[in-house]
Amino acid sequence: MEFRKEVEISKILIGGNVEESAVEIRYDPLTLQTSRIVKKNIPMPFSGDFEEEITSSRNWCPFCNERVEDLAARDPEIMKGEIWRRGECLAFSNIMPYSRYSLILRIAESHYLRLSEFKKSHFFDAFKLIQDYIGKLPGGKLYISIGMNYLKSAGSSVMHPHIQLLVSENATDLFARLEWSAFEFFEVNGRDYWSLLVEKEKGGERYVGRTQKTDWLAAFAPKGFFHFIGIPEETEFAFMSDEQLEGFSEGITRILKFYETKGFNAFNFTFFCGDRIGKHFRTNFHIVARTPFSKYYWCDVFFPKLFHDESVTFFSPEDYTRELKNLW
């Protein structure tokens, strides 16, 4: 396992002075996919007032209690046309399915939550319903992804907090790359990549800490702002214990509180689930902050990501690991 990076120095003439800027090109230790860290202080937009957006979107929101029963799409097969419930969480079909099995899990009754207002139960209850659903799926190899987009700057069309479940017979592009790379790694090393990653990073400058049965660390080659990874002791999501799911839920809420202290209010997360794949693959979780949503927000995904599939960020993983550790 190699933590490879290269540094380029850029020089610009500004105000009569020559300034140097360092650009780090980092290679993901598993896939070798590159990320660029532009080491220059660029002010991020802070989350401003968008109360008008909250109010107007609440008036038509399909996930609010007063409309969800009438508007929710139903699964006629696995869920027998029912909405599944646990705590505040409601599970139903995605009206815009991205795979053969595609669910929405509305995780909170509140239409809008600040990042510090998310609770462990919001995520834990959703994860339990996902387990129930996965347990009823037919046999065969399936690729299971769990993701969340929160607020428009993270790509969400509905403000109300919700998670999406995608289960497909065909892997997404990165999922396929992860699987092939993980298989090659296992063949050479005799163990899965993620367990060795924890062993290598534990106690180091990118290692954050633990929650129940879960290790948390900053990604060496981040795919977005403040990219953290959660690695569980238990491999397959469908069979994870309540303690393991509590570990994920606790870690997510801690990271969201940290994001809020940094001025962020939007985020994306995803699980690549290790179910039905093999001993070479372990469920792994990723979360990144997105540019704060406000009346005049801007998008942080531009041509390097869209066409070159290369992430660009302005923050060093080693620096923001130290900051999160202080709050952990």
pLDDT digits (tens, 9 = 90+) for 1-23: 899 999 999 998 888 899 888 99
295 falls in which pLDDT band (50, 70, 90)?
confident
What percent of the chain lies above the pLDDT cut of 90? Answer: 83
Overall average pLDDT of the 197-225 stretch: 97
**Phi/psi class of residue 209: alpha, beta or left (left: φ > 0; alpha: ψ in -120 to 50)?**
left
pLDDT at position 158 over 80:
yes
Tell me which of 92-101, 195-204, 265-274, 297-306 is least confident: 297-306
The span from the CA of 293 to the CA of 52, in Å, is: 13
pTM of the predicted model as reported, rounded to 2 decimal places: 0.95
Convert the pLDDT of each residue in 21-50 to its tens digit: 899 999 999 999 999 999 776 666 566 678
Pairing of strands 311-313, 34-39: parallel
Q: Kindly report the average pLDDT of the chain as a whole number.
A: 94
- At the top level of CATH, the class of 51-327 is alpha beta
Q: Rounded to 10 degrees, what is the CA torsion of 125, 127, 131, 133? A: 80
Rounded mean pLDDT, 107-127: 98
Binned at pLDDT 50, 70 and 90, residue 299 comes out as confident
DSSP labels, 164-194: EEEEESS--HHHHHHHHHHHHHHHHHSS-HH
Note the pLDDT of residue 228. 98
Taking the C-alpha atoms of residue 227 and residue 306, their distance in angstroms, rounded to an integer, is 18
Write out pLDDT tens, residues 234-250.
999 999 999 999 999 99
Reduced to 3 states (helix: H, G, I; strand: E, B; else coil), residue 201 is helix
Q: How far is CA 262 from CA 13, 206, 252, in A?
A: 31, 18, 16
Report pLDDT for 47. Answer: 61
Whether residue 309 is predicted with pLDDT greater than 90 in this model: the reply is no
Structure token pair of residue 321: 């690991």
pLDDT (mean) for 281-297:
91
Q: 242 vs 229, 233, 234, 253, 269, CA distance in Å?
A: 20, 13, 11, 16, 20
The domain locations on the chain are: 5-39, 51-327
| Residue with the larger pLDDT of the pair 49 and 278 | 278
